[in-house]
Amino acid sequence: MAFSILDSQRSGRLYGTEIWRRFARRIALGRVNALRFTGGTPDRLVVAPIDLRIADPHIAEEIYSGRFAMGGSLIDTDGGSPFQVEGASEAFMRSLHGFGWLRHMRAADHDLACANARALVDDWIAVEGRALGGHAYEPEVLSNRLIAWFSHSPIVLRGADHGFYRRFLKSIALQARYLKHVARAMPGDATRFKARIALAMASLCLPSSSGAVRAASRNLDSEINAQILPDGGHVSRNPMVLIELLTHLLPLKQTYINLGQKPPRNMAAGMDRMFSALRFFRHSNGELVLFNGSSAVSADRLLGVLRYDETSGSAFREMPHSQYQRLSAGNAVLIADTGPPPKGILSNQTHAGCLSFELSSGANCFIVNAGAPVVPHTQYADFARMTAAHSTVTLDDRSSLKFSHSSFLGPIVTGGVRGVTVRSLDEEGIHQGFDAVHDGYAGSLKLLHRRKIRMLSSGHEVQGRDQVIRPDESEPRPDDRTPAVARFHVHPTISVSQDEDGVVHLTAGDGESWAFVARDLVPKIEEDVHFADLAGARTSKQITLEFVVGERSQIDWKLIRTNLPRA
């Protein structure tokens, strides 16, 4: 009852906070119209930052032909304006209005591509330039567009006449003024961070006073201090946010240097911490872990950021502020989520995966979480956030977090895990490990989940124990019929088989294999879905251990390497 009351109080506070935030935002923003943000038109662009993302000239050819593939959709405009198509998905429209696809035009680097880029920008200015509403002016989309226009201005302006040059600069100036105005009323999340990056870039790319440059720098510095934790993680606990931010911070930092301007005071140190955290979140094969909104990232994009990493040393054993654990020995790496969700809007992508883990060895990921879909998909995203989509224990077919379904609050966390206790089990030369307990089911079921994991120093064996206990740490009542399932999601590239003794064998394409065994329980192999794939959701397998907590409150399992990869 106590936890239910606390969850109700939490929900009430969330509504109260959101009402106040919206009221304060409305007062701060005042009346919004294009006339309010008109002003002087800059006479030139000072510099064009680089774009670190991979580009494909073949996509430029598709765009020239009127075929726009973005946001998980393909739309043929048949010669019409892409900004006036009807029935397009929100993901498509956000990608379209973000103009990140201009990089493909720059990769093509010929006069036709430049003319096409210029025509599309001019079309956007005519259709959306003064609307100040809809997807085009969502803060994240607007930030992306400003960054893209600054970065790819050389191809947009190549061969441009004076009329277009002036329209382009006038539109950029209006958008920058609007973003500066709305940024102060935005919640302190990654979207505001990106807005501050875009505004700092605007202060450098447009003719600006030294005071304007310093003000934009101070605002960005404040975001670095507020959103990047001492261990380098982001306050959202989403590892993928680090890549998103570094993709834009790196060109911005270089632009400060190229112009002889002083970067924000904490920029270098903050980025170094972010790189250290990114190293923590990488598997043995270099892939990014799938926790709390992370999805698949192309190797090119990841390496495009990591090649600027000037920090040194091995990955941390743990991230005490972000609250993750990392066990590593030999060629094996195990990373686990051992923290509660962030609060408020910062939890709008948080997954109910507390105490879940992922295991990799050599060139392969073996045990993973389902991950977030690469392209936003509401139904898939909802499934991906469930506890059942993670390699952890689910009780009574419920998630360890409660999510809002209110359009007013958005998909934030409203209940569930409030506290996680963690204790190290490390013994030098023997094993690394942790003992963690979360209270996500205390309110609904009066039960806690406890997980102990050890990795032997050889890196050849992982030992796990899952316990279901009561809040006073006693065992559940014998008549407690709460069903429990421990799930171990297998990466879709791994072959799964089971022998006559019930041992599950996980075999990678290079021959490396691991065996999964459980004490006094026969594992099951079941169908599964892996959401975090660049090609879209794909089928996979999962290993499950089912039990009833009143009959068996503890299960023991092991993952043992049985074959090394072929030479």
Q: What is the pLDDT of residues 140-169, one digit of tens each?
A: 999 999 999 999 999 999 999 999 999 999
The total number of structural domains that make up the chain: 3
Question: Which of these ranges, 16-25, 344-353, 518-527, has the smallest mean pLDDT?
Answer: 16-25
Neighbours of 131 (CB within 10 A): 10
Q: What is the pLDDT of residues 402-436, one digit of tens each?
A: 999 988 889 999 999 999 999 999 999 999 999 99
382: CATH: 2.70.98.70
Measured between alpha carbons, how far is 206 from 221 in angstroms, rounded to an integer?
20
Q: What secondary structure letter does DSSP report for 60? A: H
Helix H or strand E segment including 393: strand 393-395
Residues 74 and 180 in one domain: yes
Residues 90 and 150 in one domain: yes
Structural domain ending residue among the three candidates 168, 185, 202: 185
Residue type at 245? L
Residue 13 domain flag? no
Residue 9 domain flag? no
Measured between alpha carbons, how far is 454 from 452 in angstroms, rounded to an integer?
7
Residues 367 and 453 in one domain: yes
Measured between alpha carbons, how far is 565 from 510 in angstroms, rounded to an integer?
5
Residues 344 and 203 in one domain: no
Residue 530 domain flag? yes
- Check: CB of residue 565 under 8 Å from CB of residue 511: yes
Structural domain ending residue among the three candidates 152, 185, 218: 185
What's the average model confidence in pLDDT over 173-193? 95
Mean per-residue pLDDT over the chain, rounded: 94
Residues 79 and 213 in one domain: no
Work out the end-to-end distance of the chain between its first and last CA atoms, rounded to an integer number of angstroms.
58
Residues 530 and 480 in one domain: yes
Measured between alpha carbons, how far is 179 from 37 in angstroms, rounded to an integer?
10
Neighbours of 567 (CB within 10 A): 5
Q: Quickly list H helices, 366-488.
A: 378-385, 442-445
Q: How far from 108 is each of 61, 112, 115, 144, 155, CA to CA, in Å?
A: 8, 9, 12, 21, 10
Q: What is the pLDDT of residues 37-50, one digit of tens each?
A: 667 789 999 999 99
Residues 394 and 522 in one domain: yes
Q: Is 330 in a helix, a strand, or coil?
A: coil
Residue 380 domain flag? yes
Q: Is 280 in a helix, a strand, or coil?
A: helix
Closest residue by Cα to residue 133 from 38, 33, 29, 35? 33
- Check: CB of residue 126 under 8 Å from CB of residue 173: no
Residues 333 and 370 in one domain: yes
Q: What secondary structure letter does DSSP report for 356? A: -
Structural domain ending residue among the three candidates 163, 185, 207: 185
Residue in the block written with tokens 């969700």: 341
3-state secondary structure 527-559: EEEECCCCCCCEEEEEEEEEEECCCCCEEEEEE
Q: What is the pLDDT of residues 259-314, one digit of tens each?
A: 999 999 999 999 999 999 999 999 999 999 999 999 999 888 898 899 999 887 78
Residue 107 domain flag? yes
Residues 38 and 105 in one domain: yes
Residues 240 and 178 in one domain: no
Residues 326 and 429 in one domain: yes
Does pLDDT of 4 surpass 80? no
- Give the structural domain span for 110: 31-185
Residue 191 domain flag? yes
pTM above 0.85, yes or no: yes
Q: Are strands 420-424 and 357-361 parallel, antiparallel or unpaired?
A: unpaired
Q: Retrieve residue 142's tokens.
A: 């607007």
Q: Are strands 504-507 and 324-329 parallel, antiparallel or unpaired?
A: unpaired
Q: Are strands 461-469 and 73-76 parallel, antiparallel or unpaired?
A: unpaired
Helix H or strand E segment including 75: strand 73-76
- Check: CB of residue 217 under 8 Å from CB of residue 9: no
Residue 16 domain flag? no
What are residue 528's phi and psi, to 5 degrees?
-150, 170
Residues 229 and 98 in one domain: no
Residue 497 domain flag? no
Angle at 23 between CA 19 and CA 25, to 5 degrees: 115
Q: What is the pLDDT of residues 98-146, one digit of tens each?
A: 999 999 999 998 999 999 999 999 999 999 988 888 999 999 999 999 9
